[in-house]
A and B are shown apart, each in its own frame.
Chain A
Amino acid sequence: MGIIKASKLVFEYLKYNDEGKVEETSRAIDRVDLDVEAGQFIAVLGHNGSGKSTLAKHINGLLIPTEGTVWVDHMSTENEEELWRIRQKAGMVFQNPDNQIIGTVVEEDVGFGPENMGVPTEDIWRRVDESLRAVGMTAYRHHSPNKLSGGQKQRVAIAGVVAMRPKCIVLDEPTAMLDPNGRKEVLQAVRELNKKEGVTVILITHYMEEVIFADRVIVMDRGSIVMQGTPREIFSQVDTLKSYRLDVPQVTLLAHELRTSGLQIPEGILTIDELVNAICQLS
């Protein structure tokens, strides 16, 4: 059993009428099974309303399953007493960087998580130093978060999670509100955490370019997992992806179009270099 496991997970949003009675239920997640090994980089893709954010909120116990169970490091999220330990194990980074920074100074914000966990003062300082270094924000430690760029704010948010020494970080569309440069900075930081510190990463996104580095890609549609596999496997099925209203990276799409028009190019090309190689080998 991996670090995160979900079995037959179902979650229903309830809509109440004026008298407080349940008027209708809508199923955001429908019988999802998931097993994530420690140290992996997982990307979750899906169109709006596919249930990917709801799934993310189950991983650190912000939502409790309607049916089925989620285990984080062998602890079930339904168990109230374990809730704080689960949230420490599985940190979460949200979409809007402004709405998740609590401190008025960068270093104080990074220290917020450890403070809540009751870590002794000297230890908090050590953790803050390490986390800021890990995301490359040490130079900004005394700045006010309001004066940072979006990418920098999001890196501060990541540092805030890293300071809690989680085994797993769930990022819920962390780059959706950033410009291309900020997006690059944040992704770079996340990949380094995964490579150097061995933190398990679950990246939820709808930018296809961000998932080509993942060990495994999960595609969700209407609350269910519809595709799973390495980026290459996923992106070689261009037409299936399109039926889930997802786009493939431009290079992959170009390769696919060339192939359908008769050129001998393999499926699942992910980078420009690969395509260049493939084209050069055409006779």
Chain B
Amino acid sequence: MIRDITIGQYYPADSILHRLDPRVKFIGTLIFLVSLFVSNKWEGYLLATAFLGAMILISKVPFGFMVKGLKPIFMILLITVAFNLFLTPGTILVQFWIFKITDAGCLQAGKMAIRLIYLIIGSSVMTLTTTPNQLTDGLEKLMRPLTRIKVPVHEIAMMMSIALRFIPILMEETDKIMKAQIARGADFESGNLIKKAKALIPLLVPLFISAFRRANDLAMAMEARCYHGGEGRTQMKPLKYASRDLAAYGIMLLYLAGSIVIRILGR
């Protein structure tokens, strides 16, 4: 059960998107986000829709998984739409009490909703087709230039991948400690919020102690296996651009150029 929990929301399938270099997908997502804010005409959104639709089709990930990502932002979406709907000045269409709905408001709210929804679905396409490990690798490679200004990029990436490895182990441990405490009469369920928070102390203290102990053991094991930072390290699975990655970059640039052209011509 707990062992099976995967972090992130990777959906295993065999598609071109899955096989693309994580760097391409990361930059591609950024370009898509930028294009959403570049477009302010319906033609621009049409292009974005076509592009996103094509990506979803290619990814072979069921559409339902993409929509799942929208759940946590539903409230934010509702508030944004409401603000835009009621607070944009323009010719009034409907009015009741202090609420006015204007034609400009309708347009603005629609655009914001589309932007937000596409933004989430767009990034879901990336996280659904890339394993957390690949993402970490890709980020490490992309951030490499930051080492010049003394950002410990390799160390950050190493920390991220170790965290990914230990999250399921620590979850299992939490489960174990919780059961052990319940067996000795601890009560995690009843009481108000403060009481519940206090009840977590006998869970958190042993968990932290064990995490530190594990960290100590792991550090020793890493040193015993010659780990001494990113310097002089080679990689078992180095990221290399294939021709499909370059082609993907090309398509993305074309797409960005398209949405810019639409914005300029649309005036």
Say if A and B assemble together: yes
Interface residues in chain A, defined as those with a beta carbon under 8 Å from any beta carbon in chain B = 60, 62, 84, 87-88, 91-92, 94, 96, 98-105, 107-108, 111-121, 124-125, 128, 145-147, 160-161, 164
Are B224 and A102 closer than 8 Å at their CB atoms? no
Q: Which residues of B contact A100 (CB under 8 A)?
A: 217-218, 221
Are A146 and B224 closer than 8 Å at their CB atoms? no
Are A88 and B133 closer than 8 Å at their CB atoms? no
B237 within 8 A of A: yes
Are A116 and B233 closer than 8 Å at their CB atoms? yes
- How far is A88 from B226 in the complex, measured between Cα atoms in Å? 7
Main secondary structure of the interface of A (DSSP, over half): helix
- How far is A251 from B155 in the complex, measured between Cα atoms in Å? 52
B63 within 8 A of A: no
With A118-B233, A121-B236 in contact, do A146 and B225 touch (Cβ < 8 Å)? no
Are B221 and A113 closer than 8 Å at their CB atoms? no
Q: Which residues of B contact A116 (CB under 8 A)?
A: 225-228, 233
A116-B227, A121-B234 given; 8 more Cβ-contact pairs under 8 Å: A62-B223, A87-B225, A94-B221, A99-B214, A102-B221, A113-B226, A118-B233, A161-B225
- How far is A114 from B164 in the complex, measured between Cα atoms in Å? 22
- How far is A24 from B216 in the complex, measured between Cα atoms in Å? 23
Q: Closest 3 CB pairs between A and B?
A: A100-B221, A111-B236, A99-B217
- How far is A113 from B226 in the complex, measured between Cα atoms in Å? 6
Q: Which residues of A contact B223 (CB under 8 A)?
A: 62, 87
Shortest CB-to-CB span from A79 to chain B, Å, is 15
B151 within 8 A of A: no
- How far is A226 from B222 in the complex, measured between Cα atoms in Å? 32
With A92-B224, A161-B225 in contact, do A147 and B3 touch (Cβ < 8 Å)? yes
Interface size class on chain B is 20 to 34
Are A118 and B217 closer than 8 Å at their CB atoms? no
- How far is A61 from B233 in the complex, measured between Cα atoms in Å? 20
- How far is A60 from B234 in the complex, measured between Cα atoms in Å? 22
Are B225 and A113 closer than 8 Å at their CB atoms? yes
Interface residues in chain B, defined as those with a beta carbon under 8 Å from any beta carbon in chain A = 3, 132-133, 161-162, 164-165, 168-169, 214, 217-218, 220-228, 232-238
Are A91 and B224 closer than 8 Å at their CB atoms? yes
Are A84 and B165 closer than 8 Å at their CB atoms? no
Q: Which residue of B lies closest to A160 (CB)?
A: B225
- How far is A107 from B236 in the complex, measured between Cα atoms in Å? 9
Can you identify 6 A-B contacts, CB atoms within 8 angstroms? A94-B217, A107-B236, A115-B236, A116-B226, A146-B3, A147-B3
Are B224 and A62 closer than 8 Å at their CB atoms? yes
- How far is A112 from B162 in the complex, measured between Cα atoms in Å? 12
- How far is A124 from B238 in the complex, measured between Cα atoms in Å? 11
Q: Which residues of B contact A99 (CB under 8 A)?
A: 214, 217-218, 221
Q: Which residues of A contact B222 (CB under 8 A)?
A: 102, 112
Q: Which residues of A contact B226 (CB under 8 A)?
A: 84, 87-88, 113, 116-117, 164
Q: Which residues of A contact B238 (CB under 8 A)?
A: 121
- How far is A87 from B224 in the complex, measured between Cα atoms in Å? 6
Identify the interface centre among B223, B225, B238: most chain A CB within 10 Å of its CB: B225
Q: Which residues of B contact A105 (CB under 8 A)?
A: 133
- How far is A99 from B218 in the complex, measured between Cα atoms in Å? 5
- How far is A96 from B221 in the complex, measured between Cα atoms in Å? 10
- How far is A152 from B172 in the complex, measured between Cα atoms in Å? 19
- How far is A86 from B227 in the complex, measured between Cα atoms in Å? 13
- How far is A111 from B164 in the complex, measured between Cα atoms in Å? 18
Q: Which residues of B contact A117 (CB under 8 A)?
A: 226
Identify the interface centre among A103, A111, A146: most chain B CB within 10 Å of its CB: A146
Q: Which residue of A lies closest to B226 (CB)?
A: A116
Are A96 and B224 closer than 8 Å at their CB atoms? no
Q: Which residue of A lies closest to B173 (CB)?
A: A98
- How far is A117 from B234 in the complex, measured between Cα atoms in Å? 8
Q: Which residues of A contact B224 (CB under 8 A)?
A: 60, 62, 87, 91-92, 94
- How far is A99 from B222 in the complex, measured between Cα atoms in Å? 10
Q: Which residues of B contact A94 (CB under 8 A)?
A: 217, 220-221, 224
With A62-B220, A104-B161, A146-B3 in contact, do A98 and B233 touch (Cβ < 8 Å)? no
Q: Which residues of A contact B235 (CB under 8 A)?
A: 115, 121
Shortest CB-to-CB span from B166 to chain A, Å, is 9
Q: Which residues of A contact B168 (CB under 8 A)?
A: 146
Shortest CB-to-CB span from B50 to chain A, Å, is 36
Q: Which residue of A lies closest to B216 (CB)?
A: A99
- How far is A115 from B236 in the complex, measured between Cα atoms in Å? 6
Shortest CB-to-CB span from A163 to chain B, Å, is 9
- How far is A183 from B3 in the complex, measured between Cα atoms in Å? 23
Q: Which residues of A contact B169 (CB under 8 A)?
A: 98, 146
With A116-B227, A117-B226 in contact, do A98 and B214 touch (Cβ < 8 Å)? yes
